[in-house]
Structure 1
Amino acid sequence: MLNMLAIIGCGNLNRSDDGVGVIVAQRLQQYLIQNPNSNVRAYDCGTGGIEVMFLARGCTQLIIIDASSIKDQPGAVYKVPGEELAAVPNRGYSLHDFRWDNAIASGRQIFQDSFPQDVTVYLIEAASLNFGWELSPAVQRAADFVFEEIVKSL
């Protein structure tokens, strides 16, 4: 299988720092337009967890970027390796409850060898999840860091 990387940003652009994953993915899309790499795709999945599962299908590597809200230092970056995500999360019965963690578990079950086993998730601690379109300064710095770290790995 050809080595393919899917980079997927998740979040809600209308809720301040919750949009950080989408913003990083959009920056990576622009980067890839200027620096084409046929083995890398960047996607903005917003809040559609089911899309994560289908966009990752056929890739050998997957990177997900999303906001977290565990009440830690705003802008803290957690790089979570795929092995940490092996447990199947509680499943919801609606598409609204189907998030990227469900997508990873379900994608592995459904698509098996056609789903990436090499998964990394970047979680960026939010300062605000209130209505708004701007990232807080700490989250913007973290977004810049994650963008640069991913670009260096390409």
Structure 2
Amino acid sequence: MLTIIGCGNLNRSDDGVGVIIAQRLQQYLIENPHPDVRAYDCGTSGMEVMFQARGSTKLIIIDASSTGSQPGAVYKVPGTELEALPEPSYSLHNFRWDHAIASGKKIFQQDFPQDVTVYLIEAENLGFGWDLTPAVQKAANFVIEEIVSLLN
């Protein structure tokens, strides 16, 4: 079972790229069913990422990044490079997908995917707005094409 999860905030322009990709892949899967593939829009909820990934053998996470590199750059990174246990806290608000990977493996053990790939797309604009910038839209199309090619 492959689970694809898009993360981000649709109200902050390029930060919504992961969510937009997940929504487009959901539509693709409606039109081209793959019974062993699921796609979810998890927004900004790391806890939801952890629970949606449970029971999968493979996980793909898609999110925006802000490293100062070229807008629209796509980084495909093994999840083991990015996973991090969260700092002790009384709030789940700061529980992100990188925490979900590490915590999910620790909590669910063999019922959590060990094969995790993260696509990070460098954002150009993280201000308020609903549209992706052209460079990030082009990168989103590239990531969608790459994931669809994995399914076929």
TM-score using structure 1 length: 0.95
Alpha-carbon shift at residue 92 of structure 1 (Å): 5.4
Counterpart pick for 1:148 among 145, 149, 152: 145
Distance 2:81 2:58 in 1: 15
Q: Which runs of 5+ in 1 are unaligned?
A: none
Alpha-carbon shift at residue 101 of structure 1 (Å): 0.2
Distance 1:20 1:144 in 2: 10
Alignment partner of 1:17: what SS?
A: helix
Alignment: residue pair count: 150
Distance 1:30 1:104 in 2: 25
1:69 matched residue in structure 2 = 66
Distance 1:149 1:79 in 2: 11
CA contact (8 A) 2:8 2:64 kept: yes
Matched, 1:33 2:60: no
2:93 matched residue in structure 1 = 96
CA contact (8 A) 1:17 1:67 kept: yes
The alignment's C-alpha RMSD in Å is 1.0
Q: Which runs of 5+ in 2 are unaligned?
A: none
Taking every aligned residue pair, what percent have the same amino acid on both sides?
A: 75
Alpha-carbon shift at residue 89 of structure 1 (Å): 4.1
